[in-house]
Amino acid sequence: MTSIIITGGTGLIGNALGKALLEKGYHVIIMSRKPVDKPITGNLRYAAWNVEQQTIDKEAIGSADYIIHLAGAGVAEKRWTKKRKQEIISSRVESSKLITDSLKTISNKVKAVISSSAIGWYLTPNPSPSRKGGREGKGLRKFVESDPPANDFLGTTCQQWEESIEPVTQSGIRLVKLRIGIVLSREGGALKEFLKPLRFGIASILGSGKQIISWIHIDDLVSMFIAAIEDDKMNGVYNAVAPNPVSNKELIMKLAKARKKFYIPFYVPSFILKLLLGEMSNEVLKSATVSCDKVQKTGFTFQFPDIYSAFADLLKQEDHPVN
């Protein structure tokens, strides 16, 4: 039976991905600091690792055919203090180091490592038009995988994140890095935050609302991770975003209309966001028009290519769309 290790397996993406892999008949191993607290269920088991101490279950590494690396402190969970920013970086770099070192020192049969990254790599104001394909003729070029990283916090974090997992290729292991956009899921994450004010009849548009959001439905993201496992021709970096990015205003207004309940549009001024979020507000107000052409050329097909189909699915459970 094909075994797949997942780091960060209890998070939003990892939980959905683990369930999908089990349904497809894979054996799933979730890395955990306290695996003894977790029951073994069917083809699911937990194995120990400790990033701070750089220790890992050798048997798990030795039995794995693939590794999906999702581990990392949540970027939006806390205000970006100096300490928190270091936690965000070190949790990614040090967990990657543990994986790469383990694959060098422990006998294994790992065929590929699929690592998460983020479109924070690109999160800077879109440059002046230099390539066709801009959204709605507004002159915004779409970022592609070969574009350099931004020189802001998220850009440098993503760069260190991706570089830290790169050494697995020295062991002859195929490496795929998925730069993930804003993930939409009824289980939480960004959608949960978008819905909070709507439950009080307020459609909160951030800043001018013109900033572009490159998003992806959780089901499509899960399918992309599975494709990266099963298609051995996939290699290198791919943008994990839907084909049709939208502005913040369009996303919020479409979400409000999809709920079919009373709402009032309300613009949240940039200075308020700055007071509430600090440096993180810069990321909320930036545009990221990101291309998914590369992954589509592999034959990958999106089940939810536009925001209309995504919301139609995510809001099917009208009373409880998000936990």
Looking up residue 203, the CATH number of its domain turns out to be 3.40.50.720
Tokens standing for residue 184: 């939409």
Question: What gap in Å lies between CA 99 and CA 107, rounded to an integer?
Answer: 13
Identity at 41, one-letter amino acid code: T
Residue 113 belongs to a domain: yes
- What is the mean pLDDT, run by run of 10 residues, along the chain of 323 residues? 94 96 96 79 92 96 97 89 94 97 96 97 56 40 92 94 96 96 93 92 93 96 98 97 96 93 90 84 84 97 96 75 44
Report phi then psi at 221, rounded to 5.
Answer: -65, -45
Q: By CB neighbour count within 10 A (0-12 exposed, 13-18 middle, 19+ buried), where does 82 fall? A: exposed
3-state class of 310 per DSSP? Answer: helix
Contact criterion met (CB below 8 Å) for 292 and 221: no
Indicate the helix (H) or strand (E) that contains 7. Answer: strand 3-7
Number of domains in the chain: 1
Residue 86 belongs to a domain: yes
**Residue span of the structural domain in which 214 resides:** 3-314
Instruction: Report pLDDT for 273.
Output: 86
Residue 322 belongs to a domain: no
Q: Which residues are within 8 A (CB) of 146 and not within 5 positions of it... i.e. 6 or more apart?
A: none
* Cα–Cα distance list, 133 to 142, 144, 178, 251 (Å): 7, 11, 21, 20
Q: Which residues are within 8 A (CB) of 69 and not within 5 positions of it... i.e. 6 or more apart?
A: 7, 8, 95, 96, 99, 113, 114, 115, 116, 165
Residue 320 belongs to a domain: no
Question: What gap in Å lies between CA 32 and CA 318, rounded to an integer?
Answer: 34
Question: What gap in Å lies between CA 232 and CA 33, rounded to an integer?
Answer: 31
Number of H helices, E strands in the chain: 11, 15
Tokens standing for residue 262: 């009373």
Identity at 64, one-letter amino acid code: A
Residue 87 belongs to a domain: yes
Contact criterion met (CB below 8 Å) for 166 and 103: no
Look-up of token digits 């992806």: 216
Q: What is the DSSP string of 132-159?
A: S--GGGSSPPPB-TTSPPPSSHHHHHHH
Question: What gap in Å lies between CA 13 and CA 218, rounded to an integer?
Answer: 7
Look-up of token digits 């949790």: 91
Indicate the helix (H) or strand (E) that contains 177. Answer: strand 174-180
